[in-house]
Homo-oligomer: A and B are copies of this chain.
Amino acid sequence: MEWDLYVITDSRLSRGRPVVEVVRQALEGGARIIQLREKEMPPRELVALGRELRSLIKSFNATFIVNDRLDVALAVDADGVHVGQDDLPAAVARRLLGPGKILGVSVATVEEALRALADGADYLGVGSIYATGTKPDAGAPIGPARIKEIKSRVNLPVVAIGGINAANAGEVIAAGADGVAVISAVVGADDVRAAAAELLAVVRRSKSGLLRQDNF
């Protein structure tokens, strides 16, 4: 999978633009993973929206993850589900999902990362790296060094999350993240497509810089 740019929806931050339109622009800008995360949306609407997104994301050959609601993920045949530390326990999610679907787990510490690995996670969302207004309950920022610490212990893809934008994305990639996950930096941007493309360029530039460092 391509982890470079992982975009999470939030219709409350999308300035009235329909989620499907915002996601289309994010995909056009180069997002390779889309997570449907609409905490206030009734499940029936979530299923209807998820079905629309399913086709759209498939047409871009990208990956579709549903936040928290494993039942909705199964209902719309998403590629996987992402759970936080207050959501379904990862081991339960793994069991209900079966082996064929992707399971992502939010972690903030090495301990949580080791537990997620044991529970069957396919990738980790590590954060919040920086302070963020999107998740006021996300706790104190853990900083990019934590990514390095987790990557040195747990052999899973890591997407860094929390307050990431074009100015600091290079730093989290340099710390070992496989990609960056963003909400407001993309779905809240004036030009969603351009914001996604810019972030992707920073991530790729940072990765190729690291490759050069490795080579010399």
Number of interface residues of A (CB under 8 A): 20
Q: Which residues of the other chain, B, contact A75 by a CB distance below 8 angstroms?
A: 88-89, 92, 96
Question: A47 to chain B: closest CB distance in Å?
Answer: 6
The answer, among B44, B47, B72, B86, for a CB contact under 8 Å with A85, is B44
| Chain B residue contacts of A52, Cβ below 8 A | none
**B87 x A42 contact (CB < 8 A):** yes
> Nearest-CB distance from A42 to chain B (Å)?
4
A88 to B42 Cα, complex, angstroms = 9
Q: Contact mask A70-102 → B, CB, 8 Å, 1/0? A: 111011000000000111110011001000000
Q: Is the CB of B42 within 8 A of A92?
A: no
Q: Does A4 contact B (CB under 8 A)?
A: no
Residues of A within 8 A of B (CB): 42-45, 47, 68-72, 74-75, 85-89, 92-93, 96
Interchain nearest-CB distance for A45 vs B (Å): 8
- Give the docked Cα–Cα distance between A71 and B89 (Å): 11
Complex Cα–Cα for A68 and B89 (A): 18
A71-B74, A75-B88, A75-B96 known; 12 new pairs, CB 8 Å cut-off, are: A42-B86, A42-B87, A43-B87, A44-B85, A44-B87, A44-B88, A44-B89, A47-B88, A69-B69, A71-B88, A72-B88, A75-B89
Complex interface: chain B residues within 8 A of A42 (CB): 86-87
CA distance in complex: A44, B47 (Å): 22
A75 to B69, CA, bound (A): 12
Nearest neighbor of A91 in chain B, beta-carbon distance: B75
CB distance from A37 to the nearest CB of B (A): 14
Contacts of A86 in B (CB 8 A): 42-45
Task: With CB as the reference atom, state the residue of chain B lying closest to A74.
Answer: B96
